[in-house]
Amino acid sequence: MILVAARVQSVSRCRDRQEDNDIMIRNINRITLLLLWLSCCSLSTKVHQSPSSILGNPNVSATISCNHSVSSYNVILWYQQPTGDSGLHLIGYLLYNNPTLEDPFRQHFNVTGDGSVKSQLHVLKLRQPEDSGVYYCAASGQGANYEAYFGQGTKVTVLEDGLTITPPTVQVLRPSSKECGNDDAPKKTIVCVASGFYPDHVSVSWQVDGEAVTTGVATDNAALREDDFYKITSRLRVSTKNWFNPETVFTCTVSFYNGTHTETYSDSLHGEEGGGMTREKYLRSTQTAKLSYGVLIIKSSIYGACVAFLVWKLQRSAGKQNH
């Protein structure tokens, strides 16, 4: 992971330069730990961030809000994870009601609020593509010994000129007829493809007979850009017992944010009539094949013995005639 060094300076006028340096070093270590924590742990319910998605045109302003419920905390920090970048960049922070912005962000961002309760990150004029990415807020205390709690993140997309918001087309594809899994747990893979959408504010979920399922689900980490549009694929692994049941309904649902609200688009298919290579059928077929092979070997052996006997008889008759 790219380690982000956050330079958090004191707002108190009475602190000397050495104290500022000590604070900076402590906070560099603290932010490094926070980023490691963010990469491996769940986000906190103590911090609420909204909205979850923003679509905006260039030169339009945008605001992200963050609030926390930790009474002893007085700092809210703001981070940007640009599109295509795995690292986080510190935008600035709010200590009580005193904001501090990092140099690269001072001209285009502003931070307001009270770090002990809530904060707002203001993007003064959206730029494409510099401001597209995911934005996080984090609540903490002043000092190196406070655990930080991150918000859920806000995905921001600055729309490209000439492109319009387009919902996805969803299609569920049947499993391959050649797929039979292993003997102990034969499986079938159902594939869901969502394509032709812009931008990539989507999420994919599966339902079996109307009930949400997460086991056996594998979805692409991110949508793939194809020309002006995006495509994302998700796979659902199910048992052959469930698949070979025409009453079972498999549904793939794609949630798409269109700039004002989230709409869902889905496609479904039914399981097939009993058939295919189930474990029982596989065992029966292999046993039948073994039996047929055994019978063929026995017949071949008998045929070979008969031929050998005939050859022996002919050779013996020829010997008697010579005598």
Residue range 265-300, pLDDT digits in tens? 999 999 998 755 555 555 565 676 667 666 667 767
The number of domains in the chain is: 2
Q: Check whether residue 50 and residue 140 sit in a common domain.
A: yes
Q: Which residues contact 128 (CB under 8 A, 6 or more apart)?
A: 58, 158, 159, 160, 161
The enclosing domain of 235 has a CATH number of: 2.60.40.10
How far apart (Å, rounded) are the C-alpha atoms in residues 206 and 213? 6
Q: 120 with 200, same domain?
A: no
- In angstroms, the CA 317 to CA 114 distance is 117
Q: What is the CA 210 to chain-centroid distance, rounded? A: 22
Burial of residue 75 (number of CB atoms within 10 Å: 0-12, 13-18, 19+)? buried
Question: What gap in Å lies between CA 176 and CA 96, rounded to an integer?
Answer: 59
**Domain that residue 228 falls in:** 169-270
| Strand ranges (E), 181-283 | 187-197, 202-208, 211-213, 217-219, 224-226, 229-239, 249-257, 262-270
**The pLDDT of residue 178:** 81
Give strand pairing partners of 89.
80
Residues 114 and 53 in one domain: yes
Q: Are residues 57 and 117 in the same domain?
A: yes
pLDDT of residue 68: 97
The last residue of a domain, from among 158, 188, 218: 158
Domain edge (last residue) among 250, 270, 290:
270
In a domain, 225, yes or no: yes
pLDDT, residue 26, reads 39
**Does residue 229 lie in a domain region?**
yes
Residues 110 and 221 in one domain: no
User: Would you say residue 89 lies in a domain?
Assistant: yes
24, 148: one domain: yes
Do 32 and 140 fall within a single domain? yes
- Residue 215: CB atoms within 10 A of its CB come to 8
288, part of any domain = no
Q: Among the three residues 270, 296, 312, which one is the final residue of a domain in this structure?
A: 270
Is 310 inside any structural domain? no
Q: Are residues 71 and 22 in the same domain?
A: yes
Token pair of 155 as six digits: 């995905």
Question: Within a 10 A sphere around the Cβ of 318, how many other Cβ atoms?
Answer: 9
Each residue's pLDDT tens digit, 156-184: 999 999 999 999 999 999 998 887 655 45
> Minimal CA–CA distance to 90: which of 28, 157, 183, 169?
28
Same-domain check for residues 112 and 67: yes
Give the chain's residues under pLDDT 70: 1-43, 180-185, 275-286, 288-290, 292-296, 299, 303, 307, 309-323
Residues 247, 249, 250, 255, Cα dihedral to 10°: 180
**Shared-domain flag, residues 150 and 223:** no
pLDDT of residue 195: 98
The answer to the question of residue 317 being in a domain is no
Distance CA 227, CA 291 (A): 57
Are 210 and 137 in a shared domain? no
- Does any domain span residue 283? no
Report the amino acid identity of residue 230. Y
Q: Is residue 304 part of a domain?
A: no
Q: Are residues 225 and 261 in the same domain?
A: yes
Tokens 């295509």 appear where?
84
What distance in Å separates the CA atoms of residue 277 and residue 72, rounded to the nearest whole number?
A: 62
